[in-house]
Amino acid sequence: MKLNGIKWFRFCVIALSSVSVLIGCTSAEDRRTASGNYDYLNVMPSRGLAIPEGLNAPATNEEYAIDDLESASAAYGRELDIRAPAQVLPLVEGSNVKNSGGGKVSIDFSLEEDGGSVRDEVWRVLWEYFYEKGIRARFWDKDGGVLITEWFHSDVKLSDENTLFDTLTFSEKEIHIRQRYLFSLDVNERGDKATLTALLLGHEETLNNRKVGDTLSNIDKRRYTVSLLNGAIGHYEFKKRVLAHEQEQQKFKPITLAVGKDASGLPAFIASAGFERTWARLALVISDLGFTIEDRNKSLGTYYVRYLGSQTLWQSIWGDGIEIDIPKEQYQILLGDLGNSTSITLLSIENRPVGEERLAEIYDALKDAMERGVINQ
């Protein structure tokens, strides 16, 4: 049976009203508290087994014994938080979560490549994140591995779950939160691994400009601390992806080439870019010159290549290839780090210079390939 316009309108109003009632009954307290009754809290503990005088107690198995709840300081009933525990997210490659206690939250970092300082890297990223969030330092001993923040504000809705239902209640109530944290950074002797630990030092809450408390449960302390630490880790991971993208794009940017000499005084080509960019760019264009890479050693700055002829299939069709007049044999292409520039030297497989005449034969082709905006694939 189809509903006419008026009936459909009435049906929608009733349905939305029902949803509003259901939403209004859902609070942050309900979502963190177990449902049902708590009559079990009033049950008297059972008495132990009474052994008559003159008899021995029977043997018992303690494998399934329950710890003394009084000594465990456990939460009961409505005080029991049933939400899933907050987890640190090791988003950055080379990081992993470290078990910690006493309100502390820790994560390990390690450098993916040799060089640099993990101490400088972690402090730099953490401080960048704090600066973007308006968090300032009260005390910072970079070498000693200690950073204490000033008090900073974080305004959140009454529900800390921030779900769709909270948005639909149109609540005017807001909790204003002030917090301060201690961060410690422990670096190993080699300087390539570090543990960053966060600890909530202070917490203040006001509800509608009225102070409502400054103490938190251990679970909530961990939630706030994990949230802040995950924000910094997410910032770190985002920055690394941006940097990796920029470095990848650098491979495709032209590099100008000139004739000069390497650090040993041998005739060479001088590329107008540092070693890393020149090394990556050369790997992309070298096949356009008719060379094939048989091996490479980046630590020595050497490509081991074989010359097969510079005419590719595409070049032979369109006739735009530059023929290089050198013997078709094995060579070494040696790159030298000159700081802001890089030398490129052609050597024989026996490690002998090939001479200026042979370098001149490949100069035009190499210059064109290195300075070209688009690389033939």
CATH number for position 116: 3.30.530.50
Domain boundary among 227, 248, 269: 248
* Phi, psi of 245, deg, nearest 5: -65, -45
Final residue of a structural domain among 211, 228, 248 = 248
Q: Which long-range contacts (CB under 8 A, 24 or more apart) does 362-365 make?
A: 362/289, 362/324, 362/326, 363/257, 363/259, 363/269, 364/322, 365/288, 365/289, 365/310, 365/322, 365/324
Of the candidates 184, 218, 248, which is a domain's last residue?
248
Question: In the numeric block, which tokens belong to residue 12?
Answer: 């929608």
10 belongs to a structural domain: no
Largest CA distance in the chain: 112
Cα torsion 313, 317, 318, 323: sign:
positive
**Does residue 334 form part of some domain?**
yes
On whether both 126 and 266 belong to a single domain, the answer is no
Expressed as residue numbers, the domain containing 144 is: 86-248
**In the structure encoding, which two tokens stand for residue 196, read together?**
């960053």
Same domain, 211 and 356: no
List phi, psi (to 5°) of 156.
-130, 160
C-beta separation of 348 from 331 below 8 A: yes
Give yes or no: residues 130 and 191 share one domain: yes
Q: pTM of the full predicted structure?
A: 0.55
Q: Give the separation between CA 108 and CA 61, rounded to whole angstroms.
A: 41
Say yes or no: 238 and 263 in one domain. Answer: no
Domain CATH number, residue 351? 3.30.310.170
Count of structural domains within the chain: 2
Q: Along the 377 residues of the chain, how does pLDDT read in single tens digits?
A: 454 555 555 544 445 444 444 444 455 566 677 777 778 778 777 777 888 888 888 888 877 776 665 544 567 777 777 777 777 777 776 677 776 666 788 888 886 655 568 888 889 889 999 998 899 999 999 999 999 999 998 754 444 444 333 333 334 456 788 899 999 999 988 888 889 999 999 998 888 778 877 778 777 888 888 888 888 888 888 887 887 777 777 767 889 999 998 888 888 999 999 998 899 889 888 888 889 999 999 999 999 999 987 555 445 444 455 568 888 899 999 999 998 999 999 999 998 888 888 888 888 889 888 887 544 43
Query: Would residue 11 count as lying in a domain?
Result: no
Using CA of residue 216, residue 218, residue 223, residue 229, what is the dihedral sign? positive
Place of tokens 């449902």: 35
Same domain, 308 and 193: no
Question: Does 98 fall in a domain?
Answer: yes
